[in-house]
Amino acid sequence: MSIELKVPAVGESITEVEIGDWFFKEGDFVEKDKPVVVIETEKATVELPAPVSGILGKILKVHAAANVGEVIGHIIPGAETGKTEGKPVVASAPVTPAPSRTESPKVMPSAARVLAEADQPGLEVSGTGPGGRVLKEDARKALAATSAPAEEEPSAKPQAAPKPIQPQAPSNPPRKGTENREIEVVRMSKLRRTVAERLVRAQSEAALLTTFNEIDMTSIMSLRKEQGEAFLKRYGVKLGFMSFFVKAVVDGLKMVPQLNAEISGTDMVYHRYYDIGVAIGGGKGLVVPVLRNAERLSFSEIELAIAAFASKAKEGKLTLEELEGGTFTISNGGVYGSLLSTPIVNPPQSGVLGMHSIQDRPVAVQGAVVIRPMMYVALSYDHRLVDGKEAVTFLKRIKDVIENPARMLIEA
């Protein structure tokens, strides 16, 4: 008797997920607790483990939406018949004519489109991509091979007195150099679709405004240079800029609590704790894991937590609990070279701080022009909750604390 593979509950508010790649194909032996399939939610990617050891039976969902609790496949408990050393469903194998739905992951969307446009969707094609995936180039080569004989003998069949054809210019001739241009259509992931929806909602529902300032990073850079090596030896992690900014943000939020609040109907909800989201570039897009109770964390605890988040983000292993419930967000576009930007607030939060590249620039200090490492910072905020004076006060506080880091200790 087969055992059903069902979509697990992955969060209180999540009812629908996206089924991604299967790590095995039908007939493969699967060991208990081994990941079987990737499940994408609007916030993170999780892997569904096998409940028992056995043979993977019918796969019902591939690259499609599914509801929590819905059956997406079956496992038949039994011996290691057909064991394949845990190779993914996209393992190397030629695409056979009229492939079933469960074999669709072998053919990349662009390759399937090329075959469909040539009216040969069932053409046998050998994949050269990772895990034997059939790429667009593979489909083209296969089509070229099947059409080569016909092209080599254009005059094989005699034709009877054809009527002269007058050359006629195409109604919309392609521009020179654009004849072979192509496009590739790729389905948006659940995470990317959710990000897009929330960004649009934030723009339409909130009264967003951005204010800017610049920070002299000389003191922080000197402190990191002096203490960086000892910090690394003691805690096993580098002393970065983010821990300083997290501390400064908590200090600023205590001064301007409206930026640590949210709107709920006709009420304003003030948070008396500080859960700071830190935007991190992951393998499948930008994610924002949350530093819980950041006001209680030391510099080393902040840096260790951020390093752990970054590692999990690259592997797609961040949990929903690590991504939910932030009260304020910090985004560091400077790591990608951004000089200045206007970050978008992540609802229902009321503010986000954008950090940018550090550049040496001439500035006036005590009547003299000197070269200093400067960073532009931007605060985007919901004007429904936060007035301009409060936003400027907060950003000015960030500037003061970063330029005089001793204040974080003296005024704690």
Residues 98-149: tens digit of each pLDDT: 444 444 446 766 777 777 777 776 777 777 665 666 777 777 888 877 765 5
- pLDDT confidence of residue 193: 77
- pLDDT confidence of residue 390: 96
The beta-carbon contacts of 33-40 under 8 Å, at least 24 apart in sequence, are 34/86, 36/5, 36/73, 36/75, 37/5, 37/72, 37/73, 39/7, 39/8, 39/10, 40/189, 40/190, 40/191, 40/284
Distance, CA of 82 to chain centre? 35
Q: Is the pLDDT of residue 90 over 50?
A: no
Q: Among 25-34, 121-130, 220-229, 328-337, which is the least confidently predicted range?
A: 121-130
Q: Among 74-83, 97-106, 208-217, 271-280, which is the least confidently predicted range?
A: 97-106
Name the DSSP class of 134.
Answer: B
Write out the catalytic residue numbers.
383, 387
Q: Is the pLDDT of residue 20 over 70?
A: yes
Tokens for 121, please give them. 């969707």
- pLDDT confidence of residue 318: 84
Cα angle 19, 200, 257 (rounded to 5 degrees) comes to 110
- Percentage above 70 pLDDT, the chain: 80
Distance, CA of 210 to chain centre? 24
- pLDDT confidence of residue 82: 45
Rounded-to-integer distance, Cα 210 and Cα 344, Å: 9
| Cis peptide, bond prior to residue 257, ω within 30 of zero | no
More reliable by pLDDT, 61 or 192:
61
Rounded-to-integer distance, Cα 117 and Cα 246, Å: 53
Rounded-to-integer distance, Cα 227 and Cα 81, Å: 59
Is residue 56 within 8 Å of residue 36, measured between CB atoms?
A: yes
Name the DSSP class of 92.
Answer: S
DSSP H helical ranges for 93-217: 109-117, 136-152, 190-205
- The pTM (predicted TM-score) of the whole model is 0.64
Rounded-to-integer distance, Cα 212 and Cα 17, Å: 38
Residue closest to 323 by CA, chosen among 286, 276, 284, 290: 290
Q: What domains can be seen in the chain, in order of their start residue?
A: 3-77 (2.40.50.100), 208-410 (3.30.559.10)
Q: Among 38-52, 249-263, 345-359, which is the least confidently predicted range?
A: 38-52
Tokens for 363, please give them. 């500035």
Rounded-to-integer distance, Cα 332 and Cα 288, Å: 11
Rounded-to-integer distance, Cα 400 and Cα 29, Å: 61
How far apart, in Å, are the Cα atoms of 363 and each of 220, 371, 374?
17, 6, 9
Tokens for 177, please give them. 């150099």
- What's the whole-number average pLDDT of the chain? 82
Q: Is the pLDDT of residue 267 over 50?
A: yes
pLDDT band at 224 (very low <50, low <70, confident <90, very high): very high
Q: Is the pLDDT of residue 191 over 80?
A: no
pLDDT band at 79 (very low <50, low <70, confident <90, very high): low
Q: Is the pLDDT of residue 240 over 50?
A: yes
- pLDDT confidence of residue 386: 96
- pLDDT confidence of residue 330: 97
Q: What is the mean pLDDT of residues 291-313?
A: 95
- If DSSP codes are grouped into helix, strand and coil, which group holds residue 241? helix
Rounded-to-integer distance, Cα 73 and Cα 8, Å: 13
- pLDDT confidence of residue 153: 47
pLDDT band at 93 (very low <50, low <70, confident <90, very high): very low
Q: Is the pLDDT of residue 61 over 80?
A: yes
More reliable by pLDDT, 161 or 193:
193
* Residues in CB range of 90: below 8 A, 6 or more apart: 21, 105, 106, 130, 131, 132, 133
Rounded-to-integer distance, Cα 79 and Cα 49, Å: 18
Q: Is the pLDDT of residue 91 over 90?
A: no
Is residue 409 within 8 Å of residue 401, measured between CB atoms?
A: no
- Percentage above 90 pLDDT, the chain: 42
- If DSSP codes are grouped into helix, strand and coil, which group holds residue 364? strand
Each residue of 365-408: pLDDT tens digit? 999 999 999 999 999 999 999 999 999 999 999 999 999 988 77
Q: What is the mean pLDDT of residues 270-297?
A: 90
